[in-house]
Chain A
Amino acid sequence: MTFRRVLIANRGEIAVRIARACREVDLESIAVYSDADENAPHVRAADRAVRIGPAPSIQSYLSIDAILEAAKTTGAEAIHPGYGFLSENAAFAAACEKAGLTFVGPPPGVIARMGLKVAARELMVAAGVPVVPGVTASDQSDAGIESAAAHLGFPVLVKASAGGGGKGMRAVRDRESARDLIAAARREAIAAFGDGTLYVERLIEKPRHVEVQIFGDTYGNIVHLFERECSIQRRHQKILEESPSPALTPSVRSAITQSAVAAARAAGYVNAGTIEFLLEGSGDAARFYFLEVNTRLQVEHPVTEGVTGIDLVRAQFIVAAGGRLPWTQGEVSQRGHAIECRVYAEDPAGGFLPQAGTLLLYREPAGPGIRIDSGVVEGGTVSVHYDPLLAKVTAVAESRQAAIARVLAALRRFPVLGIRTNIPFLIRLLEHPDVRSGHIHTRFIEDHAIDLLNAGDPPIEAFAAAAVAPHGGAVPVTADARTAPPDPWSAIQRWGR
Chain B
Amino acid sequence: MAILEDGRVVVDEVAVVTRSIGDGEVRVGADASTVAWVAASGDIRWVFVNGNVYELDVRPPGGRRRATAGHSSLAAPMPATVIRIEVSPGARVSRGDTLVILEAMKMELPIRADSDGTVTRVACKAGDLVQPGVALVEIE
Give residues of chain A (340-390) contacting chain B, Cβ–Cβ below 8 Å.
Answer: 350, 353-357, 360-361, 363, 384-388
Is the CB–CB distance between A416 and B79 below 8 Å? no
A336 interface hit (Cβ, 8 Å): no
CB neighbours (8 Å) of A435 from chain B are none
Give residues of chain B (75-92) contacting chain A, Cβ–Cβ below 8 Å.
Answer: 77-80
Number of A residues whose C-beta is below 8 Å from B?
Answer: 56
Give residues of chain A (437-486) contacting chain B, Cβ–Cβ below 8 Å.
Answer: 455-456, 458-472, 474-483
Asked if A466 meets B78 with Cβ closer than 8 Å, knowing A354-B105, A412-B50, the reply is no
B6 interface hit (Cβ, 8 Å): no
CB neighbours (8 Å) of B105 from chain A are 354, 356, 384-388
Give A424 to B48 CA distance when docked, in angstroms: 10
Which of these, A386, A464, A465, A483, contacts B44 with CB under 8 Å? Answer: A483
Which of these, B16, B22, B35, B37, contacts A460 with CB under 8 Å? Answer: B16
Q: Which residue of chain B lies nearest to A472 when distances are taken between CB atoms in the complex? A: B40
Asked if A467 meets B48 with Cβ closer than 8 Å, knowing A353-B109, A462-B56, A472-B40, the reply is no
CB neighbours (8 Å) of B106 from chain A are 387
Give A464 to B16 CA distance when docked, in angstroms: 7
Q: Which residue of chain B lies nearest to A427 when distances are taken between CB atoms in the complex? A: B51
Is the CB–CB distance between A461 and B16 below 8 Å? yes
A246 interface hit (Cβ, 8 Å): no
Is the CB–CB distance between A462 and B51 below 8 Å? no
Is the CB–CB distance between A468 and B26 below 8 Å? yes
B58 interface hit (Cβ, 8 Å): yes
CB neighbours (8 Å) of A420 from chain B are 53
Give A488 to B53 CA distance when docked, in angstroms: 16
Q: Which residue of chain B lies nearest to A476 when distances are taken between CB atoms in the complex? A: B1
A411 interface hit (Cβ, 8 Å): yes
Number of B residues whose C-beta is below 8 Å from A?
Answer: 51
Q: Which residue of chain A lies nearest to B14 when distances are taken between CB atoms in the complex? A: A460
Cβ contacts B30-48/A at 8 Å (1 or 0 each): 0000111111110011111
CB neighbours (8 Å) of B28 from chain A are 461, 464-465
Is the CB–CB distance between A356 and B47 below 8 Å? no
- With both chains docked as a complex, state the minimum distance between the C-beta of B69 and any C-beta of chain A, in angstroms: 17
Is the CB–CB distance between B56 and A481 below 8 Å? yes
CB neighbours (8 Å) of A476 from chain B are 1-3, 58
Give A470 to B40 CA distance when docked, in angstroms: 7
Give A482 to B23 CA distance when docked, in angstroms: 23
- With both chains docked as a complex, state the minimum distance between the C-beta of A57 and any C-beta of chain B, in angstroms: 8
B68 interface hit (Cβ, 8 Å): no
Is the CB–CB distance between A472 and B58 below 8 Å? yes
Number of A-B contacts (CB under 8 A): 175
Is the CB–CB distance between B11 and A460 below 8 Å? yes
Is the CB–CB distance between A421 and B53 below 8 Å? yes
- With both chains docked as a complex, state the minimum distance between the C-beta of B42 and any C-beta of chain A, in angstroms: 9
Asked if A460 meets B26 with Cβ closer than 8 Å, knowing A361-B37, A466-B47, A472-B58, the reply is no
Give A338 to B103 CA distance when docked, in angstroms: 35
- With both chains docked as a complex, state the minimum distance between the C-beta of A236 and any C-beta of chain B, in angstroms: 11
CB neighbours (8 Å) of A357 from chain B are 78
A119 interface hit (Cβ, 8 Å): no
A423 interface hit (Cβ, 8 Å): yes
Is the CB–CB distance between B49 and A353 below 8 Å? no
Is the CB–CB distance between B107 and A418 below 8 Å? no
CB neighbours (8 Å) of B47 from chain A are 417, 458, 462, 465-466, 469
CB neighbours (8 Å) of A413 from chain B are 35, 51
Give A357 to B26 CA distance when docked, in angstroms: 24
A415 interface hit (Cβ, 8 Å): yes
Give A415 to B18 CA distance when docked, in angstroms: 18
Give A427 to B50 CA distance when docked, in angstroms: 10
- With both chains docked as a complex, state the minimum distance between the C-beta of B110 and any C-beta of chain A, in angstroms: 9
B60 interface hit (Cβ, 8 Å): yes
CB neighbours (8 Å) of A414 from chain B are 51
- With both chains docked as a complex, state the minimum distance between the C-beta of B22 and any C-beta of chain A, in angstroms: 8
Q: Which residue of chain B lies nearest to A483 when distances are taken between CB atoms in the complex? A: B55
B94 interface hit (Cβ, 8 Å): no
Give A445 to B92 CA distance when docked, in angstroms: 36
Give A465 to B54 CA distance when docked, in angstroms: 11
Which of these, A385, A456, A465, contacts B26 with CB under 8 Å? Answer: A465
- With both chains docked as a complex, state the minimum distance between the C-beta of A99 and any C-beta of chain B, in angstroms: 28
Is the CB–CB distance between A478 and B61 below 8 Å? yes
Give A458 to B57 CA distance when docked, in angstroms: 12
Is the CB–CB distance between A356 and B78 below 8 Å? yes
Which of these, A384, A408, A462, contacts B104 with CB under 8 Å? Answer: A384
CB neighbours (8 Å) of B77 from chain A are 350, 353
Cβ contacts A140-178/B at 8 Å (1 or 0 each): 000000000000000000000000000000000000000
Give A266 to B34 CA distance when docked, in angstroms: 56
Give A466 to B62 CA distance when docked, in angstroms: 19
Is the CB–CB distance between A465 and B38 below 8 Å? yes
Q: Which residue of chain B lies nearest to A460 when distances are taken between CB atoms in the complex? A: B11
Asked if A356 meets B41 with Cβ closer than 8 Å, knowing A462-B54, A479-B12, A482-B54, the reply is no
In order of increasing CB-CB distance, the 8 nearest A-B pairs are A472-B40, A466-B45, A415-B37, A415-B48, A417-B46, A360-B39, A412-B51, A465-B36
Q: Can you give 15 contacting A-B residue pairs, CB < 8 Å?
A: A384-B105, A408-B51, A417-B24, A424-B52, A424-B53, A458-B56, A460-B14, A461-B29, A464-B16, A466-B58, A468-B7, A469-B24, A469-B45, A472-B38, A477-B1
Give A residues with C-beta under 8 Å from B: 235, 350, 353-357, 360-361, 363, 384-388, 408, 411-418, 420-421, 423-424, 427, 455-456, 458-472, 474-483
Known: A384-B104, A462-B54. 19 other contacts (CB 8 A): A356-B79, A361-B24, A361-B46, A386-B105, A387-B106, A388-B105, A408-B51, A412-B50, A418-B39, A464-B16, A464-B18, A465-B18, A465-B47, A469-B40, A470-B22, A472-B38, A472-B58, A480-B61, A482-B56
